[in-house]
A and B are shown apart, each in its own frame.
Chain A
Amino acid sequence: MPQAQAQGLPAATTGDITPEPVREGIDLIVNGERFKHTGDPLMPLLWYLRDVLRLTGTKVGDAQGKDGYDLVLVNGKAVPAITWPMAKLVDARVTTVEGLARADGGLHPLQQAFIDEDAIGCGYCTAGWLIAGIDLLTRKPKASDEDIDKLPNRCRCGCQTRVRRAIKRAAGAQA
């Protein structure tokens, strides 16, 4: 390592002062932390989260994002991460399943309700259910069965009845 760098000094040795180039990129906030994406602006948010930030709680689902496995909150609204290119996320606030709990580790009431109702099969679709459920409870704190019926998520292990109970439990806790 050059000595200048080791001492924390700029490595430049010429007298020219070059203005710092304007940094290209997309600024966004993920789970409360600021990030700048400098790669392909067409990269879907899903691969940015999983490959770049290594936030793998948001799962790989189908190409159209219809199965609900890759749901994240963008500015508080549930959207499939596969269908949102980074270019659409300038200054966006993204929350993934990793960002649902409080900083002190306290769980969101819906996370706790999923544990209490044992609403987990293989667990692969759980993050998507949580995001969809939180989106619903934000819009309708006293979500009805008909509201829950409209959730887009699919599950092959058959957790739907337990997920329903968990959402209702969380709705009760919030009320």
Chain B
Amino acid sequence: MSGRVQLSRRRFLQVLAGTAGALVVGIGHADAEVPIPPAMLGDDFGQLGAYVRIDREGNVLIGARDPDTGTGTATSLPRIIAEELDADWTRVTVMPLGLGVEAKDGKPVWIYGHQRSGTGDSIPAAWADLRQAGALARWLITQAAARRLGFAADRLRCESGVVVTPDGRRFPYGSLVEAASKIDPPAAPLPLKPPQRYTLIGHPAGDVDARHIVTGRTRYAIDTHYADALVAVLAQCPWPDGSLASIETAPALAIKGVVKVMPINPEADVPPGQTAIAPAVAVLAENTWAALRGLAELKLEWKPGAHSADEDSAKLEARAIALLDTDSAPTTRVRDEGDLAAAGRKAARRVEATYVQPWLAHATPEPMNCLVRLDKDQASLVVPTQAPQQAWAVVQRLTGLAADRIAIEVPRVGGGYGRRLDHDYVAEAVMLAKAVDKPVRLMWTREQGLAHDYYRSGTVHKIKAIIGRKRQVIAWDQRLASASALSGRGTAADRLWTSEISAEQLPAGLVPNYRSDWYSLASAMPRGPFRGEPHVTNAFAVESFIDEIAHTLREDPLVTRLRLLGEARQIPLGGRRMLDVGRLLNVLKLVTDRVEWKNWLHNVNGMGVACWHIDGAYVAHAIEAAVHGEKLEIVRVVCAVDVGRVINPLGLQGQVAGATLDALSNALNPAITYKNGQVRQQSLQDYPLASMAQLPNDVEVITVPNDRAPTGASFLAMPTAAPALANAVFRASAVRVRRLPLMKELLRLL
């Protein structure tokens, strides 16, 4: 017996009797050519769609479709399903789902729907469709109980894996699943639980993988292996468009265990991220140590390419500053409201400042790696990726295999931060496996991750504000110069700005005469998505600048902010976007109340504040800093967030504290610089993430309870941390840091 509930026009939930009497709610697709045989669905968890299997012992297996890169999806997504199921969470086992793909007319069909992490949409997407899976399983179990016990189904209730009758008798789900699997599901989606009955959503839950992680049993992609796989390591050309000038392989091949040395070249006309980032020479060996010894013995000379050899980060920055100082036309006028020229005639004061932020690398903890086995008509991969569907596209292009003959497993990922939305390392591994006709486990070193990254572009912001007689900001003219992360990736020229700035960002909607311009910088250095961008760089400039306005007006920067924000109200920002000023005021009030802001205006230590909004979520930071001689101490950090409904409060606290520390770490020390097209940072010591001593001892997180639909929170707390710190440093030391990394600039100016 089986049946289906439509989720959308093409996707549906499928109810099946699994083996040994289990109830399975899987997922199907209307276009799938070959329906999955029900028996297989019960036996093979790999065939279980995104969702639920309950066996007769009452054990619940839930699939998690979005990769968990430390963003908590392996816990939060299954809890959304378990809530609607009224499952006993202690009986739930979570399994990461690999890529869900079927073939239709030679094209891939993504049967699990959303499969991507770190872009802030995992939770909203799950909220939209995953709840039905749990609701359907519970409905079937309740129907089975009703038929067995002779009660009307609506007189039964479910709690923690048990159906309870009106006279208090309790029937565990396990005793009902076999019967439930034989009941036809309803044709339409089921009503969902009212939030006041939630027992999991909104209640704290630890990471489902925690025990395996602390005992070293969690296998990341880099920990997986096939017995007959060769280990591949790379020497990469320091210029992305360079080439191999000479190579001597004999000493490398003489190393015991080294099997082959071969070059890899980026494919022509393939967008960045989908092919090798630069020419490379691979050493393939029977084990990692032999491969690395072989790599050390390689004698290589590279020559620069036509474009990248002249690249120089200092020159690019100088060009950007000069560009913003002229009145040349921007590449894109991102937002233009009111009349700046007319506003200028009412100016009481003018404020102007320029902010410079460096290039950054992702510095992922787990190095780039990929395990791949190519058989005649099948590819099997283990990939640390944030976007399995994009990884699939790379494999498919290189192998030409049918859509559904490419299997991609995604174990827990050792950090993404946007780096693993690109799949150059997958392309390299597949190219090598094709060439050697053996499975390949490719591994970069961490250092190579630094020197061969898709970087975050450096930025220069120049902001001018006009202040009216009543101290109000009457005009805001903001210019940004950066190298778009979207260049060369098939994005239309008039949309390249979208990776660099948000048209809705503060103070859009709050200033009557507002203009935001983007100037494109040409660069041959590889760029790509980066955690929290474009908000992080823009918030640093905007939220630092608001404090500079306050300084010009000789007033409390909180007063300046409150005047700028005005009354609680809804401001349309274009499209369906709204700025809810009340929610922004609320997070600002929460952090300033918590630190007793008024007491800080004349203290030796400095207190700084910043606020921001991203896609309907709101954040504010208050940070206390002290400057002792040449030492900066971050004494206290408070962060308030409003993300709509909170799925897992403990997970949210971790994301907010984590994003805060990541943002502080990125702002304090590291910078990528390059000269003659070559990145100077070749070791992790050259790119210092913050040490324990540099970071605050605690991050106090305040979450705003509310019942709006949940939003993503993995990078929400990033944008406001650095400007709040810079504002605190100014109060503590009278040094205004307009250039990052912060420590270097602070020491220069002190």
Residues of A within 8 A of B (CB): 40, 43-44, 47, 50-52, 54-64, 66-67, 69, 96-98, 100-101, 107, 111, 114-115, 118, 120-127, 130, 145, 148-165
- What are 6 of the A-B contact pairs (CB < 8 Å)? A40-B256, A63-B447, A69-B365, A122-B415, A156-B417, A161-B697
Chain B, Cβ-Cβ closest to A130: B214
In the bound complex, CA of A124 to CA of B365 (Å) = 7
Chain B residues numbered 670-728 whose CB sits less than 8 Å from any CB in chain A: 683-685, 689-693, 695-699
The answer to whether A58 touches B697, judged by C-beta atoms less than 8 angstroms apart, is no
Structural contact, B216 and A154, CB atoms closer than 8 A = no
Number of cross-chain contacts by CB at 8 Å = 180
Q: With a CB–CB cut-off of 8 A, which chain A residues contact B219?
A: 56
Min CB gap A68→B, angstroms = 10
Q: How far is the CA of A155 from the CA of B219 in the complex (A)?
A: 19
CB of A59 to closest CB in B, whole Å? 7
Rounded to whole angstroms, the CA-CA distance of A96 and B657 in the bound complex is: 28
Q: B213 contacts A158, CB within 8 Å?
A: no
| Max chain A C-beta neighbours (<10 A), residue from B216, B225, B412 | B216
A156 and B363 form a contact (CB under 8 A): yes
Q: Which of the residues B365, B417, B660, B692 comes within 8 Å of A149, measured between beta carbons?
A: B692
Residue contact B697 to A51, C-beta cutoff 8 Å:
no
Given A123-B218, A160-B695, A164-B698, 13 additional A-B pairs, CB 8 A: A40-B289, A56-B222, A63-B446, A67-B365, A118-B210, A122-B68, A124-B414, A126-B214, A157-B365, A159-B654, A160-B692, A161-B698, A162-B654
A residues less than 8 Å from B745 (CB atoms): none
Contact B289 A44 (CB under 8 A): yes
Complex interface: chain B residues within 8 A of A98 (CB): 215-217
Partner of A111, one of B215, B412, B683, B684: B215
Contacts of B693 in A (CB 8 A): 149-150
Chain B residues with CB under 8 A of A130? 214
CB neighbours (8 Å) of B615 from chain A are: none
Cβ < 8 Å to A, chain B residues 316-359: none
A111 → chain B closest CB, angstroms: 4
Least CB distance, B46 to chain A, in whole angstroms: 22
Size bracket, chain B contacts: 35 or more
Considering only CB atoms, which chain A residue lies closest to B72 in the complex?
A: A121
Give the residue of B287, B443, B654, B660 whose beta carbon is less than 8 angstroms from that of A121.
B654
How far does the Cβ of A33 sit from chain B's closest Cβ, in whole Å? 15
A161 to B662, CA, bound (A): 11
The chain A residue with its CB closest to the CB of B214 is A111
- In the complex, the answer to whether B446 meets A60 with C-beta atoms within 8 Å is yes
Q: Does B658 contact A (CB under 8 A)?
A: yes
Q: Are B365 and A97 in contact (CB under 8 A)?
A: no
Residues of A near B445 (CB, < 8 A) are 62-63
User: B223, A47: Cβ atoms under 8 Å?
Assistant: no
Question: If A114-B210, A118-B206 touch, does A55 touch B414 (CB 8 Å cutoff)?
Answer: no
Please give, as numbers and ranges, the residues of chain A lying within 8 Å of B214 by CB-CB distance.
97, 100, 107, 111, 114-115, 120, 126, 130
Quick check: B206 and A67 within 8 Å, CB to CB? no
A87 to chain B, nearest CB (A): 13
Cα distance, A144 to B228, chains bound together (Å): 48
Leading 7 A-B pairs by shortest Cβ distance:
A57-B216, A122-B70, A158-B661, A124-B414, A158-B658, A97-B216, A56-B223
Assess whether B683 is in contact with A63, with CB atoms less than 8 Å apart.
Answer: yes
Asked if residues B213 and A156 are in contact (CB atoms below 8 Å), the reply is no
Query: A100 and B446: CB pair below 8 A?
Result: no
Beta-carbon contact of A58 and B213 below 8 Å: no
- Residue ID in chain B nearest A146 by CB atoms: B693
Q: Is the interface of B mostly helix, strand, loop or mixed?
A: loop
Residue of B650, B653, B697 touching A164 (CB-CB under 8 A): B697
B292 vs chain A, min Cβ distance (A): 8
* Contact assessment for A120 and B210 in the assembled complex, using a CB-CB cutoff below 8 Å: yes
CA A121 to CA B693, docked complex, whole Å: 19
Partner of A51, one of B288, B416, B650, B696: B288
Determine whether the beta carbon of B288 is less than 8 Å from that of A121. Answer: no
Q: Evaluate whether A118 and B692 lie within 8 angstroms (CB atoms) in the complex, with A47-B287, A161-B657, A161-B697 already known.
A: no
CA distance A161 to B417 in the complex (A): 20
Q: Does B744 contact A (CB under 8 A)?
A: no
Contact with A along B223-242 (1 / 0, CB 8 A): 10100000100000000000
Q: Are A67 and B657 in contact (CB under 8 A)?
A: no
Are the C-beta atoms of A157 and B415 separated by less than 8 Å? yes
Given the contacts A47-B289, A60-B446, A115-B206, A122 and B365 also touching, CB distance less than 8 Å: yes
* A14, B530: Cα distance in complex, Å: 70
Known: A50-B288, A55-B216, A114-B210. A124 touches B366 (CB 8 A): yes
Contacts of A165 in B (CB 8 A): 698
**Which residues of B have CB within 8 Å of A62?**
445-447, 683-684
Question: Complex: how many Å from CA A120 to CA B446?
Answer: 20
Q: Give the distance in Å from the alpha carbon of A152 to the alpha carbon of B684 in the complex.
A: 12
Chain B hits for A114, CB < 8 A: 210, 214
Q: What residues on B are CB-neighbors of A163 within 8 Å?
A: 692
Using CB atoms, name the residue of chain B closest to A153. Answer: B692
Max chain B CB contacts within 10 Å: which of A57, A97, A122, A159? A122
| Contact bitstring B443-458, A, C-beta under 8 A = 1, else 0 | 1011100000000000
B692 contacts A121, C-beta separation under 8 Å: no
B413 sits at the interface (CB 8 A): yes
In the complex, what's the smallest C-beta–C-beta distance from B697 to chain A, in angstroms?
Answer: 6
Decide: A158 and B662 in contact? CB cutoff 8 A: yes
Near A by CB (< 8 A), chain B positions 179-219 give: 206-207, 209-211, 213-219
How distant is A144 from chain B, measured CB to nearest CB, in Å?
11
B25 on the interface (CB 8 Å rule)? no
Flag whether B275 is at the interface (Cβ < 8 A).
no
Q: Are B365 and A118 within 8 A (Cβ)?
A: no
- Looking at the assembled complex, report how far the CB atom of A85 sits from the nearest CB atom of chain B, in whole angstroms: 10
What A residues does B365 contact at CB under 8 A? 59, 67, 69, 122, 124-125, 155-157
CA separation between A161 and B218, bound complex, in Å?
23
- Does B69 have its Cβ within 8 Å of any Cβ on chain A? yes
A57 to B413, CA, bound (A): 14
**What is the minimal beta-carbon distance from B626 to any residue of chain A, in angstroms?**
15
Knowing A148-B692, A151-B692, A156-B364 are in contact, say whether A115-B415 is a contact too (CB < 8 A): no
Q: Is the CB of B683 within 8 A of A64?
A: yes
* Chain A neighbourhood of B70, CB < 8 A: 120-123, 157
What's the minimum C-beta distance from B257 to chain A, rounded to whole angstroms?
9
B287 contact set on A, CB distance < 8 A: 47, 51-52
Q: Which of B648-672 contact A (CB under 8 A)?
A: 650-651, 653-654, 657-662, 665
